[in-house]
Amino acid sequence: MYIVTGGAGFIGANLIATLNQRGDTNILVVDDLKQGDKFLNLRDLEIADYMDRTEFREHLRAGHFRNTRVRAVFHQGACSDTMEYDGHYMMDNNFTYSKELLHFALERNTPFVYASSAATYGGSTTFVEQRENEHPLNVYGYSKLLFDRYVQGLIPRTIMTVAGLRYFNVYGPREEHKGRMASMIHQMYHQLRTTGVVKLFTGSGGYGDGEQRRDFIHVDDVVKINIFLADSGNVHGIFNVGTGKSRSFNDVARTLIRIAGGGDIHYVPMPEGLKAKYQSFTEADITALRATGYDAPMHSLEQGIEAFVSAQQSRTP
């Protein structure tokens, strides 16, 4: 059995879809369906069981899975809202819960692959997995960083894979439920569809209008990396997950407009409250990831956006 936490979410559901494609259906999904429309991400997938996150944690603590063979744990469940300022909730959900699941995997020598975040770098301009570059700007980023460091402290004693994945700007299908936390590519696509216009920020951080840059990675690449590391059996560490190439928001907008057959870009001033925390540039250094042996090519921005738009058009409402 595979355990996928956050399985009704964006990356978790895409991970399950890929496991299904290779014939794996013995999957326990763990999530919180207070936001009920997340079920749409699961309705076309094959799973063995579903558990609410709270119930799952109770079962872990009670040892109810001690006789269950678990092939790998994909820990994608987290509060990913960077605007959430309830530190108690954030630390319990992203740190304490993650520790409980990590120790469950370590006790069983089960591969454990989990979602970290590029938010651990915060205000840094260098994106290499080293402490001097880690400067989170919010409690979300701190919760992820603290767990990464906890994991690093245990790695010398681990046998099976324990891998933390610092996701950069992931986009793709099955993120409709995320609202304002959906990827910028998702949001720009829907802006263009509904208004014919893509709104981008005017210049900041030394970059011109719409020229701020991000490392955009398609969710299919993220899923492949998760599965590769879980299958490898003996990889330990924290790894950036991006393409290693930054692209501008203008590049995204122009690609969407080309695919749509028309549209405009409008530049709007950045809100004052955002300027101090806005990252004008991100680009993953993926040297450590490549050193694990993962050598598959990543989607280019153009390839990824075309795949994203195709998936949006084919999914049933």
Catalytic residue ranges:
140, 178
From the list 266, 310, 42, 73, the residue with the least C-alpha distance to 174 is 42
Contact 59, 101 (CB under 8 A): no
Residues 6+ apart with CB under 8 A from 245: 215, 283
> What's the CA gap between 160 and 201, in Å, rounded?
45
> What's the CA gap between 181 and 71, in Å, rounded?
31
